[in-house]
Each structure stands twice: as C-alpha cells, then as structure tokens.
C-alpha cells in the first residue's frame, strides 16, 4: 500500500504541478476543473481541485487519494490526507494554467500528456 500511495502522490504532484496557478494562495485556474493525464499505454489519471486547494485523484487502477494543496507563489505543496501515508507532502514549482491548456509531464517513469478540462470529470 505504501508503494501505491507514494506512486500516487508523485502522479498527483506531476499532474497538478504543471497545472497550478503561480500567484500565492491562488489556485483559481484549477478550482472546479480537472487535470486529465494519459499515458502512452492508455492509463488515465484525473486530478480534481476544489475550493481551498482540496484535491481528489483517481489513478488508472481505480485507487483514489485526497489532500490539500497550498501555493506560495514559487512552489505548490501537496499534502495527502487520505489514505494516510508516512510521506504525505510533495512540493513542485508553480505554473499558471487555464482550462484548455495542455502539457506533458514525467510521472511514474513514463511520459503523460495532460489537459486541464472544465468541471469535474
């Protein structure tokens, strides 16, 4: 379980890191929307961000995670709360995104093509 949680948290940070807003304490571009990341093998990770930086991740294997994200203007830090883990926090650089943006990240040892789509997917 620890391995899947750690892998999941890395996927979350990769998916959200490049989709988060850069202004301090401002996740406006993400709130109410979903980052959808797809691997070449067809795996899909979905990251929904709600008010206050609360996020929910749906991994390709059906596992899900929840936590909160905070942006200080330079980096965004993700704190996984469910399921509990011994390594709950990951921080990555902030990048501004809006609905319709696409980008590529490396997560779980493979390239993932991501898009920020409107609403909860």
pTM to 2 decimals?
0.76
Number of helices (H) and strands (E) in the chain: give both, helices first. Answer: 1, 8
Q: How far, in Å, are 5, 67, 76, 103, 112 from residue 81 at the CA level?
A: 11, 5, 16, 27, 24
One CATH from 2.30.30, 3.30.700, 1.10.10, 1.20.140 for 2-117: 3.30.700
Q: How confident is the model at residue 21 (pLDDT cuts 50, 70, 90)?
A: very low
| Domain map (residue ranges) of the chain | 2-117
For the segment 25-74, what is each residue's pLDDT rounded down to a tens digit?
457 788 899 999 999 899 999 999 898 889 999 999 899 999 998 888 88
Query: d(Cα 26, Cα 108) in Å, to the nearest integer?
Result: 27
pLDDT of residue 12: 55
Query: d(Cα 21, Cα 118) in Å, to the nearest integer?
Result: 15
């Amino acid at each position: 379980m620890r391995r899947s949680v750690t892998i999941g948290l890395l996927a979350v940070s990769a998916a959200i890191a490049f989709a988060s807003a850069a202004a301090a304490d401002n996740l406006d571009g993400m709130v109410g929307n979903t980052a959808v990341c797809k691997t070449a093998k067809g795996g899909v990770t979905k990251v929904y961000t709600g008010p206050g930086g609360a996020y929910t991740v749906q991994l390709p294997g059906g596992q899900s995670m929840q936590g909160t994200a905070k942006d200080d203007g330079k980096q965004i830090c993700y704190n996984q709360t469910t399921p509990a883990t011994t390594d709950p926090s990951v921080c990555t650089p902030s990048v501004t995104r809006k609905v319709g943006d696409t980008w590529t990240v490396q997560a779980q040892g493979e390239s993932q093509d991501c898009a920020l789509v409107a609403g909860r997917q």
